[in-house]
Amino acid sequence: MPRYRITIEYDGRGFVGWQRQKNGLGVQQALEEAVLGFSGEEVTVFGAGRTDSGVHAAAQVAHFDLNSEPRADTVRDAVNFHVKPHPVSVLMARVAEDGFDARLSATSRSYRYLIVNRRAPLTFGRGLMWRVAVALDAAAMNEAAKVLLGRHDFTTFRAVKCQAISPVKTLDRLEVARDGEAITITARARSFMHHQVRNMVGTLKLVGEGKWTTADVRSALHAKDRAKGGPTAPACGLYLSRVDY
Amino acid sequence: MPRYRITIEYDGRGFVGWQRQKNGLGVQQALEEAVLGFSGEEVTVFGAGRTDSGVHAAAQVAHFDLNSEPRADTVRDAVNFHVKPHPVSVLMARVAEDGFDARLSATSRSYRYLIVNRRAPLTFGRGLMWRVAVALDAAAMNEAAKVLLGRHDFTTFRAVKCQAISPVKTLDRLEVARDGEAITITARARSFMHHQVRNMVGTLKLVGEGKWTTADVRSALHAKDRAKGGPTAPACGLYLSRVDY
């Protein structure tokens, strides 16, 4: 019974998120139905990251088991054929190594958050990035981001409904870089809590517009109180961009 | 009676193209209605480039005249307010210098064409780039592109229904560059004929997949016969990216 490992890209608009849910289509369900469509097998597709509604993936990783043993390239093409017309695409498929689990074996997850910093509304970027009209100081945001690096209790940046057992996480990377009107925030950790990246981005935005200082970010972190953090940045700018094993 | 010069971005999907037409909404019409909405004045908005249906603009330039004299920033914000919910956005507005005409004063137009060279279907890139599954040799495409530089009779790359008076144009830039799976083709000329960029891209794609050589492109150009050129690349990958004056 081979296990397949797939790398997936998707446009989060129109999905209720990664997970199968009753109130709409999850990416997971779209993939499970595509696998059923070509193999006749009912599988569960396990993903490395449970992205929220409206959040995109440039390289989500998932696995599933089949009784049949199609070639990995066939799996890639057949899932892509059957998953149409949903905006989900299998970039790569391969037979997983023994013991591989997309969620449990992951050693780090990387997200990127795209801000377009301009006054003009978005056109082709609608739903794919966060437009912030007020001028942001990306260098100040990048400085403040350093406060969050390392091992901390991230309760301040955790959704109230988050089900993680511990709020202590280690943030390995948090960088803010500007290229013209585009500001990209890159975050990497073994794992993140619910809304953690979006809550950190919403807080760094306060620094970018000069309302908060680096010291304010430090105080908010130490308060371990979600009410002391900045607002949650919208889902549309967030991409699960990489999973390492 | 001030003349306003605006720089516009738009998502070409859902428009019949730049020009006002009877069979659907043109970007021009959407802008004219937005100007009417905030100023009460019926104007004609003249654009530098008449983009086709499905073709996007990152920086189209246009002008129009008003009897009233609002500040340029007010024009930008008011047009953006009224042009919602269409995916059109005024990036910049200013009072035009004397004698300025968006179309007639333009000294060059630049287009970029975006190819995603991969087997997997597109997700968030749908309608915004051309997915080409077969591996393309971008370096070979870039070499072949040089054949088209300079002053030539571009009949081979001109839509049959093109109304330009002369097929002789001077192509100042045509470059093909790869960055991972993304291939960007940049073209610049004083003016282009109908479908010229898309026909050149469709021809260079033949070179990229090894079906044509640089010599074949040269022969096609010299044939001055549309039937000897490559197919027309789809509209979705094309962006009017810059207009110089």
Residue A160, pLDDT score: 87
Residue A115, pLDDT score: 98
Please tell me the distance from the alpha carbon of residue B233 to that of residue A35, in angstroms, as a whole number: 33
Residue A106, pLDDT score: 98
Provide the number of CB pairs (under 8 Å) joining chain A to chain B. Answer: 60
Name the pTM for this structure: 0.94
Residue A165, pLDDT score: 87
| CA distance to partner chain A, nearest, from residue B173 (Å) | 23
Q: Is the pLDDT of residue B173 over 90?
A: yes
Q: Is the pLDDT of residue A162 over 90?
A: no
Please list every residue in chain B whose beta carbon sits closer than 8 Å to the beta carbon of residue A235. none
- What are A99-109's pLDDT values in tens digits? 999 999 999 99
C-alpha pair distances (Å), A172 with each of A111, A112, A166, A244, B81: 12, 14, 17, 13, 41
Mean pLDDT of B62-79: 97
User: Which chain A residues touch B if contact means CB-CB below 8 Å?
Assistant: 9-11, 56, 76-77, 80, 84, 87-92, 118-124, 126, 128
Please tell me the distance from the alpha carbon of residue A41 to that of residue A26, in angstroms, as a whole number: 19
Measure CB to CB from residue A120 to each of B9, B56, B123 and give the nearest one. B9
State the pLDDT confidence band at B236, using cuts at 50, 70 and 90.
Answer: very high
CB–CB contact B120 A9 (8 Å): yes
Q: Is the pLDDT of residue B14 over 90?
A: no
Q: What is the ipTM of this complex?
A: 0.92
CB–CB contact A87 B126 (8 Å): yes
Q: Is the pLDDT of residue B119 over 90?
A: yes
Instruction: For residue B52, indicate whether it is catalytic.
Output: yes
Please tell me the distance from the alpha carbon of residue B199 to that of residue B184, in angstroms, as a whole number: 15
| CA distance to partner chain A, nearest, from residue B237 (Å) | 12
Q: Which residues contact A70 (CB under 8 A, 6 or more apart)?
A: A39, A78
Residue A1, pLDDT score: 83
- What are B187-207's pLDDT values in tens digits? 999 999 999 999 999 999 999
Mean pLDDT of A56-77: 97
Q: Is the pLDDT of residue B162 over 90?
A: no
The residues of A annotated as belonging to the active site are 52
Measure CB to CB from residue A123 to each of B9, B118, B124 and give the nearest one. B9
Q: Is the pLDDT of residue A72 over 90?
A: yes
Mean pLDDT of A211-228: 98
Measure CB to CB from residue B123 to each of A88, A121, A123 and give the nearest one. A88
Please list every residue in chain B whose beta carbon sits closer than 8 Å to the beta carbon of residue A128. 124
